Amino acid sequence: HLWIFAAALEFSAEIILSHTLKGQTLVPINVEHTKDRLGVLVLIMLGETVVSSTISYREYAARALNDISFRYYSVLALSFLLIFMFTLIYFNMQPPPSDHAMRRSRFIGVLIIILHKFLGLSLLTIGACTKLAVSAVTKHEELDSFTACLLGISVGFSLLIQFGMRICHYGGRIPRKSDPIHAKRLMYIWWTLFRVMSLIPF
């Protein structure tokens, strides 16, 4: 029960404080610094996947048989590709500090922080599942269905969270009214494809 209380407090602290503290009691936020810190948090979570899938099994990789080594390095390559994909999606959608979601409203600012917390949790889950996948390869075992499903759900959940972040940053702003009609269509197509592709891992 203590863990449940701690988790509830962690994910609701910003909501409680933003409604409790009013006016001059609120400290103005440094959006650019906060943006950088959140980016570092995401990089740390992604780095955990690299550490969990490489450092723990590098001795095994040196002495493994050729057929197992191929499977081992295939898992590593796919995990690195997954990390690279998340890195590109996250950092390429970041707006300049002047257009950051935290400048839109207090509610959206709190929402973007909460989404980062859920993203960190989801990325950690991906790292843990990747380590279990590597472990299964090294032990000549099949990956259990629960871990496989959890990995897919975590990937899909991470993509949906980043789609929510994109809406927080750009929703109602892009496309602009002054944009050409073909540019608007391309943006709508891209957003729709991203949303649909996020559901595939589920």
Q: Report mean pLDDT in 10-residue bins for the chain, 202 residues.
A: 74 72 66 87 84 65 58 81 89 86 84 90 88 80 87 90 90 80 84 79 66
> Does 182 reside within a domain?
yes
d(CA 153, CA 122): 9
Number of domains in the chain: 1
> Does 62 reside within a domain?
yes
CA distances (Å), origin 84, targets 53, 87, 88, 133, 182: 14, 5, 6, 18, 30
> Does 110 reside within a domain?
yes
- What confidence tens digit (pLDDT) does each residue in 124-172 have? 899 888 888 888 877 778 888 898 899 889 999 999 999 899 888 888 7
The DSSP-derived string for 52-96 is HHHGGGHHHHHH--HHHHHHHHHHHHHHHHHHHHHHHHHHHTPPP
> Does 160 reside within a domain?
yes
- What confidence tens digit (pLDDT) does each residue in 102-112 have? 888 888 888 89
d(CA 121, CA 66): 35
CA atoms within 13 A on the CB side of 73: 8
> Does 123 reside within a domain?
yes
Q: Quote the pTM value.
A: 0.82
> Does 26 reside within a domain?
no
> Does 89 reside within a domain?
yes
Domain that holds residue 39: 32-199
